[in-house]
Amino acid sequence: MTTTSAASETPATAATADPKVDVGALGRLLLGRWSDVRLEARRLSLDPLIRRVPGESMREHRDRVVKALHRLVELGVTGRAFPKRIGGSEDPGANISGFEELVLGDPSVAIKGGVQWGLFGSAILLLGTDRHHDAWLEDVMTLRIPGAFAMTETGHGSDVASIGTTATYDPETEEFVIHTPFRGAWKDYLGNAAETGIAAVVFAQLVTRGVNHGVHAFYVPIRDPRTKAFLPGVGGEDDGVKGGLNGVDNGRLHFDRVRVPRFNLLDRYGAVAPDGEYSSPIASPGRRFFTMLGALVQGRVSLDGSATAVAKLALTIAIRYGDVRRQFAPERGAAETVLLDYGRHQRRLLPRLAEVYAMNFAHEGLMRKYHEVFSGAADTDEDRQDLETLAAALKPLSTWACLDVLQESREACGGQGFMAVNRIAPLRADMDIWATFEGDNNVLLQLVGKRLLTEYAKRMSKPDAATIRAYVADQVEEVVVGRTGLRQLGQDIRDFGSTARRVGWVRDTDSQRQLLTDRVETMVAELAQALRAGKRMGAEEAAELFNRHQNDLILAARAHAELLQWEAFTDALDDPGLDADTRQVLTWLRDLFGLGLIERGIGWFLLNGRISANRARAITEYIDTRLLPRIRARAVDLVDAFRFSDELIGAGIATGEERARQDEARAYYAAQAQTARSEAPTV
């Protein structure tokens, strides 16, 4: 989809020379489909029970967060994902959208609620059947059954298939025996496990008739509802103080031959008959395992969205502060310079602002896909695989970017950014775990890389004549133009002149798309060729070959995810609700994101002959001298479009305190100057 540049627009639609941002229209676009739910959640985040309290102890924090969850039940916002027949609304998109925004009040509230309704409750909903829903879901929804999601083990995090906990079926009693045979098999880092949970969905290796059928989920009571003491055979520990999220009672659980009825197997994808016979609607054990885990993809979806929300908040604080805070005067007696007018300050914050916009638009696409799958509107096996891959691609980029944005925003605000009252530092501590929540980011990107290789293999296994011709042409062009240096030579000749001429070609939407797409396709093709020999190797030798190229696989997956973000940003430029001025500013921001990706990966583009050295230098110059000053002029408008109220922002340095200090200082010096002039002797 090509976006028309401002220069080629008709006079009726062309942007002005000094384009303004329609903050209201842009805000509506950023809020997306579930805007009302998001705005409601932001209002809820102002509730004193839900709002983070700087300096509270872990005990105080945990107690308040429990009360916050009960407040959410009172407000009726906990059942959006659940069936209507038990009081829910069956609106998965609205459910995720609301809980994502709660992170702006207190990430501990969002995560503890996510554990209760998004993991524990959703596991019963999506892995169980109607009889399980009838037995437990209403009580889960209303917090009469607070629960834990017991998947991760001390010895196995992302490698869920290898967990050690077992569930062995006893046909004589029609019970499963849940057992953790060694210390590394203890369930660990579980929200609600240390104090509040009275039940857990426990993932274990299902063994019946001497056969291990792989990982399945079981509903297991763990505490007496009245005394909160562990039930016989169940034990555990409190994880204690963590690096962040100390309002969540994370803990460990272990089981010593705990018996649960056959009924407690959540058997949507695998059932055991009274006599111990196993059956499943999915014949392949591997496909069955990934289908069960894929049903719980909403955790990754919500982490992508909540990381984006926090990054937006951090940049709002840093950019507003940078727009009023002054430091250093160009000469004695002159006014000090506003921080955001410094080129380096713009370099620190504005490319990250562009990235967060890309994250926002990409997440909206992920949310639409998620809602289509879980509402049943588009729920084929291929749709589910696409959703899993998209979530695994976007969650790593957004969570890493969030941490990067928080750190840079903290530094950009100096000592003020380190004060807990200005929110950035506590949020940085809380969000750290996002990088390994619901799957380590590197492991998730490896899953994406493997999917890219699979799709490449399908495309090249039985290609038609057109595919073969295109592939051969690509290879010929790569050899003749890229590796011989002709591409660089041609660029150098054409680019002998101004910066605008050297960079003009890459400002075009199609040119950015071509470069970013070519990078992904070339990386995947080269990786596929390198791994091809593995088909003829033994398992150990093939594993070693893969290990040598693992980093390349993750880099290709990251490049793919960045392309997805860029495409989402580019598609957003065509929204009919944008006027020409706002579209022009957004186009500059999209160009900053796209050129920033190229600049960040400039080594690859240079080594592979996609860009000349002159053009590489011109891109950096264009960013510094053209894009950043233009975007700086509208930076405050661009963060105001996030629609955060001053009360929700909650950082005085971004909501008037710093401006008042600066105004006071300038008035003081102005009065001093006036006094000096009036007392100066008359000549």
Mean confidence (pLDDT) of the chain: 90
pLDDT at position 458: 81
Query: Which residues are bridge partners to 205 per DSSP?
Result: 166, 215
Residues 6+ apart with CB under 8 A from 114: 99, 191, 299, 302
* Confidence bin at 56 (pLDDT 50/70/90): very high
Residues 6+ apart with CB under 8 A from 640: 23, 27, 316
Question: Strand pairing of 211-221 and 199-208?
Answer: antiparallel
How many whole angstroms separate alpha carbon 338 and alpha carbon 327? 6
Residue 253: which H helix or E strand, with range?
strand 251-255
The answer, yes or no, to whether residue 4 has pLDDT greater than 90, is no
The answer, yes or no, to whether residue 313 has pLDDT greater than 90, is yes
Lowest mean pLDDT among 275-289, 423-437, 456-470, 612-626: 456-470
Residues 6+ apart with CB under 8 A from 96: 118, 298, 301, 302, 305, 367, 370
The answer to whether 149 touches 191, Cβ cutoff 8 Å, is yes
How many whole angstroms separate alpha carbon 650 and alpha carbon 427? 12
Over residues 206-215, mean pLDDT: 97
Domains and CATH numbers, the chain: 6-13+298-640 (1.20.140.10), 24-141 (1.10.540.10), 151-283 (2.40.110.10)
* Confidence bin at 635 (pLDDT 50/70/90): very high
The answer, yes or no, to whether residue 396 has pLDDT greater than 90, is yes
3-state secondary structure of 230: strand
What is the secondary structure of 389-445 as a DSSP string? HHHHHHHHHHHHHHHHHHHHHHHHTHHHHHSGGGSHHHHHHHHGGGGTTTS-HHHHH
Over residues 333-354, mean pLDDT: 93
List, for residues 430-478, the tens digit of each pLDDT value.
999 999 999 999 999 999 999 999 888 887 765 554 544 444 444 434 4
Q: How many CA atoms lie within 13 A of 6 on its CB side?
A: 17
The answer, yes or no, to whether residue 480 has pLDDT greater than 70, is no
pLDDT at position 335: 83
Over residues 25-44, mean pLDDT: 97
How many whole angstroms separate alpha carbon 230 and alpha carbon 208? 27
Determine what percent of the chain is predicted with pLDDT higher than 70.
91
Over residues 155-170, mean pLDDT: 94
Residues 6+ apart with CB under 8 A from 484: none
The answer, yes or no, to whether residue 275 has pLDDT greater than 50, is yes
List, for residues 563-588, the tens digit of each pLDDT value.
999 999 999 999 999 999 999 999 99
Residues 6+ apart with CB under 8 A from 522: 478, 608
State the pTM of this model. 0.92
List, for residues 183-198, the tens digit of each pLDDT value.
999 999 999 999 999 9
Residues 6+ apart with CB under 8 A from 531: 453, 545, 546, 549
* Confidence bin at 679 (pLDDT 50/70/90): confident
* Confidence bin at 599 (pLDDT 50/70/90): very high
Q: Across the chain, how many H-helices and E-strands are there?
A: 28, 11
pLDDT at position 123: 96
Amino acid at 256: D
pLDDT at position 488: 44
Q: CB count, 10 Å around CB of 313?
A: 28
The answer, yes or no, to whether residue 484 has pLDDT greater than 80, is no
Lowest mean pLDDT among 7-16, 170-179, 233-242: 7-16
* Confidence bin at 602 (pLDDT 50/70/90): very high
* Confidence bin at 598 (pLDDT 50/70/90): very high
Burial (CB < 10 A; 0-12, 13-18, 19+), residue 405, is buried
Q: Any idea which residue has 């749709």 for tokens?
A: 383
Over residues 342-355, mean pLDDT: 97
pLDDT at position 381: 87
Nearest to 310 by CA among 433, 436, 431: 431
Nearest to 562 by CA among 365, 385, 355, 402: 355
The answer, yes or no, to whether residue 113 has pLDDT greater than 50, is yes
Over residues 39-63, mean pLDDT: 96
The answer, yes or no, to whether residue 53 has pLDDT greater than 70, is yes
pLDDT at position 135: 97
Over residues 530-552, mean pLDDT: 88
Question: Strand pairing of 211-221 and 258-261?
Answer: unpaired
Report phi then psi at 179, rounded to 5: -145, 135
pLDDT at position 503: 66
List, for residues 125-150, the tens digit of each pLDDT value.
999 999 999 999 999 999 999 999 99
The answer to whether 259 touches 175, Cβ cutoff 8 Å, is yes
How many whole angstroms separate alpha carbon 14 and alpha carbon 298? 41
pLDDT at position 677: 84
The answer to whether 12 touches 580, Cβ cutoff 8 Å, is no
